[in-house]
Structure 1
Amino acid sequence: MSNIITFGTFDVFHVGHLNILKRAKSLGNRLFVGVSSDALNFQKKGRYPVYEEYDRMSIISGIKYVDVVFLEESLDLKVSYIQKYNADILVMGDDWKGKFDHFSSFAKIIYLERTPTVSTTSIIEVIKKC
């Protein structure tokens, strides 16, 4: 079996997050999950997450499919994380399709289809309207 690694913000946890973690875990025996730091999320998206990084890490660590949770502090460290956790497969949502192909010499890259009709951004927008 293989070591699997994935990354995400995992803010306002929803069924789409659960689905990708479950499907990622089904590809190997150990799942390592990098949760984007608050600062990294701001850098990527121009906003801070609703939940702070340690709360998000706590939520992800409580998911039965997840073996190890760590804080992802920089996009530039992806190869280091892949190597540190001896990951054989990097799993990302298909909204990132093609963006991680250059890591294929370090791990097999698999893009999983996102759960349709659910996204953190859309959930936040619905909440704002309430």
Structure 2
Amino acid sequence: MKRIITFGTYDLLHVGHIRLLKRAAALGDHLTVGISSDELNISKKGRGPVYTTAERLEIISALDCVDEVFVEHSLEAKGDYIKEHQADVLVMGDDWAGKFDMFNTLCDVVYLPRTEGISTTYLISSISDVGKKVAKAG
């Protein structure tokens, strides 16, 4: 059995997330997804996620292409997570190209193209802009 692992925040789930997860799952027989804890998200992005860790675990685990989810507490522990989940392939979006090559000694590392024109940051900004316009109009 070929085991795939990937990581992300998966806040405000969108088509880009779905497409990446489906393509990751297609590379093997079992897809494990590490979901950044609220604290990790705050430390790496400077803001809390829209949904809590528990909610994001529930959302991602409900997807048919996902076999297993866990909480990622530390970026520095990726190698440990790869070993713990016996991953054969680490999949990340190509915005991370080259940044995880050090794990080639533990598993294959694959960078998949992201869906053009969509990101959680963009969605949050768009929603915020709409909210500001509605508040001004009201």
Aligned to 2:30: 30
Q: C-alpha distance in 2, partners of 1:109/1:44?
A: 22
Provide the aligned length of Structure 1 versus Structure 2: 130
Identity of aligned residues (%): 54
- In the alignment, structure 1 residue 81 sits paired with structure 2 residue 92: no
Larger radius of gyration: 2
Greater than 4 Å deviation, 4+ residue runs:
none
2:132 corresponds to 1:115 = no
TM-score w.r.t. length of structure 2: 0.93
Residue in structure 1 matched with residue 57 of structure 2 by the alignment: 57
Cα shift at 1:77: 1.0
Report the TM-score when normalising by structure 1: 0.98
Q: Distance in 2 between matches of 1:46 and 1:95?
A: 19
Describe the superposition over 1:75-95 as per-residue Cα deviations: whole angstroms up to 9, x where unpaired: 111111101111000000001
Q: More helix per residue: 1 or 2?
A: 2
Aligned to 2:6: 6
In structure 1, list runs of 5 or more residues that go unmatched.
none
For 1:48, the aligned partner's letter is G
Q: Cα RMSD between the aligned structures?
A: 0.6
Q: Point out where structure 2 has 5 or more consecutive residues left out of the alignment.
A: 131-138
- Looking at structure 1, the residues matched to 2 and 112 of structure 2 have their Cα atoms a distance apart, in angstroms, of 17
Structure 2 match to 1:102: 102
